Amino acid sequence: MGRLLISTLCIIGALGLSACDALKKPDVDKEVDGMNVIDATNLNDIMLTVADPNEAVEYFKRALQKEPERVDFRRGLAKSLVRAKRASEAVLIYDKLVSSGDATADDRVNYADALIRTNEWGRAEAQLDKVPPTHETYQRYRLEAMIADSNQEWKKADSFYETAAGLTTQPAGVLNNWGYSKLTRGDYDAAEKLFLEAITYDKDLFTAKNNLVLARAAQRKYTLPVIQLTQIERAELLHTMAISAVKQGDIDIARGLLADAIDTHPQHFDAAVRALAALDKSRQS
């Protein structure tokens, strides 16, 4: 009886180990089947967000070689090319996507974005005109605002910028663009307010900080705004302000700002040093 029990336990143990092995070593063919893994783990979404853009491009190219009829792979490739700053290649993919009749409203909006990046504003506007008015997204209105800006349709641009800002929880970028639009129109006070608002949403957005200084300097406000700045940012903004002062003929103020920029910067600030030297040389001649 003892031997029978031992034998039975050995058999059960062997079966248990086999089951464990099966769990530890799944069917290799199924695991390697890329398309099944993609669908199971949402790898598409991962590639479109956190993955390196160029790696994502290669991933979607390989996926399309295996299943060229998959529209989601073609869409992913186009988006990845834009992320990789290869917009001209993305335009070609979107061309095919639109021609196939499989393009969605989002695809047309993203197509317009790629076209703007390649400076094809007319084609971008034509794509947005084909997007249904019911498709109300942040991206759509952001692009509409940029196109209205390029056409100097200021009322439309303001309306689109305002709508876009209201459709996102992170409006710093669109507020900065709106501010720059106001800056180019000469509406410096409105531009200043928009840049300040952008910075409240993203304290690290240096472009908005630099634009803010430009808007203030255009009003001859030669003091730094009360915002969070690193030592290097402070020096660079003083330099920006100094250059603006030079353009407006306020040379003595520019000289003082450059000297402050040089003293403020934690390292050697070559651009400010050269600018100050040029001003001193022009005063002597």
Is 202 inside a domain boundary?
no
Overall pTM surpassing 0.85 (yes/no): no
Is 81 inside a domain boundary?
no
Secondary structure (H, E, C), 35-64? HHHHHHHCHHHHHHHCCCHHHHHHHHHHHH
Q: What is the number of structural domains in the chain?
A: 1
Is 85 inside a domain boundary?
no
User: In whole angstroms, what is the distance from residue 230 CA to residue 202 CA?
Assistant: 14
pLDDT on residue 28? 34
Is 285 inside a domain boundary?
yes
17-21, 155-159, 220-224, 259-263: least confidently modelled range: 17-21
> Residue 72: which pLDDT band, with cuts at 50, 70 and 90?
very high
Is 27 inside a domain boundary?
no
Is 9 inside a domain boundary?
no
Is 255 inside a domain boundary?
yes
Domain that holds residue 251: 229-285
**pLDDT tens digits, one per residue of 4-34:** 434 443 433 443 443 344 334 343 333 334 4
Average pLDDT over residues 279-285: 78
pLDDT on residue 96? 94
Is 205 inside a domain boundary?
no
Average pLDDT over residues 238-264: 95
117 in Cβ contact with 78 (< 8 Å) = no
**pLDDT tens digits, one per residue of 115-132:** 999 999 999 999 999 999
